[in-house]
Amino acid sequence: MLRFLLKRLALLIPTFIGVTIVAFFFIRILPGDPVQVLAGERGVSPERHAEVLRQLGFDLPLWQQYFNYLGDIFRGDFGTSFASKRPVIYEFFSRFPATVELSLCAIILATVLGVPAGIVAAVNRGKWIDQATMGTALVGYSMPIFWWGLLLIIFFSGYLHWTPVSGRIALSYYFKPVTGFMLIDSLLSGQKGAFLSALHYLILPTVVLATIPLAVIARQTRSAMLEVLGEDYVRTARAKGLPPRRVVALHALRNALIPVVTTIGLQVGVLMAGAILTETVFSWPGIGKWMIESVNKRDYFVVQSGLLLIALIIMTVNLIVDVLYAVINPRIRHQ
């Protein structure tokens, strides 16, 4: 097991270097000058422009800027935001709980609905319920997040007035954040109705963000179940006269869940990518909305360090999934 873990850790090194290169050069290939963006309509003199570039280290060759950036990362220095003048690591983790809360709710919803949908589709293979379930999953997977989010806002917020348009909690509630997770902080505040308000604001963003992972999980569960239902031990269980529900739940589902667990873990990257659009549409104060604003402001240190931190989180989750997969299925370790 240790050898397996060391191999996985070794694979992360070139991935990490590749991410730093992408994160560094991504913002620099975009048109625009960060100094001019900071100056705004007032403009800046050529002398002051050159001085600010020198202070930020942008007058150096790109290769030298990259190695300086890499050295700062290894020292734990992720830079300072141009806009807020605060360390990027502080800005990131002050917004990270909002994104985690939204992503957790989305993956829970996707798992709770996607796994049963896949099981039902597999058990009723070829029937109308199978076609309807997989057709709906295909539509959900193909639907653009920003368009889907706007549709839900127009219908549920604009037409029915059932849900709020944006934010995390009603303005009538105010309390000092403790954990950064609004559902937990609203409970800790002791204010009547605060938790229900936070939950109310969470509904639409969760549904939008969960749509694509739900479709993927449903399709993967159906595929895994169909493969397992054709195995000899499942046919033997049926030949013994065991109830169909027991055969599916006890014999088939347990083994079919192995690839499904991997799929659920890999959805972290999808959630992070989807969170950028979802948070922008719903004005959700997480790292996705923060990154979009930073790109528009050409806030170099925020964009490159934000991308790197998001990638590190995704790589860590994927490593944990790999280890869990090896624990569940020992053959992976030997291979």
In a domain, 238, yes or no: yes
Q: Compute the distance between CA of residue 286 and CA of residue 94 in angstroms, rounded to an integer.
A: 9
What percentage of the chain has pLDDT greater than the value 90? 23
What percentage of the chain has pLDDT greater than the value 70? 92
Domain that residue 176 falls in:
88-296
In a domain, 227, yes or no: yes
Residue 260: phi and psi, rounded to 5, are -65, -40
In a domain, 162, yes or no: yes
Residue 316: pLDDT band with limits 50, 70, 90: confident
Q: What is the pLDDT of residues 124-177, one digit of tens each?
A: 888 899 999 999 998 988 888 889 999 999 999 989 889 998 889 988 888 888
207: domain CATH number is: 1.10.3720.10
* Residue 317 confidence (pLDDT): 80
In a domain, 47, yes or no: no
Q: What is the pLDDT of residues 250-259, one digit of tens each?
A: 767 777 877 8
In a domain, 71, yes or no: no
Q: What is the mean pLDDT of residues 12-25?
A: 85
Q: Compute the distance between CA of residue 111 and CA of residue 218 in angstroms, rounded to an integer.
A: 8
In a domain, 17, yes or no: no
Q: Compute the distance between CA of residue 208 and CA of residue 74 in angstroms, rounded to an integer.
A: 37
Category of 126 on φ-ψ map: left (φ > 0), alpha (ψ -120 to 50) or beta: left
* Residue 206 confidence (pLDDT): 94
Q: Compute the distance between CA of residue 92 and CA of residue 80 in angstroms, rounded to an integer.
A: 11
Q: What is the pLDDT of residues 271-300, one digit of tens each?
A: 877 788 899 899 898 988 888 888 887 788
Assigned token pair, 239: 């030949």
CA 250 → CA 167, 190, 218, 254, 324, distances in Å? 43, 43, 19, 6, 20
In a domain, 332, yes or no: no
Residue 65: pLDDT band with limits 50, 70, 90: confident
Q: Which residue has the higher pLDDT, 116 or 37?
A: 116
In a domain, 75, yes or no: no
Number of H helices, E strands in the chain: 15, 0
Beta bridge partners of 80: 87
Domain count, the chain: 1
* Residue 334 confidence (pLDDT): 47
What pTM, to 2 d.p., does this model score?
0.83
* Residue 1 confidence (pLDDT): 63
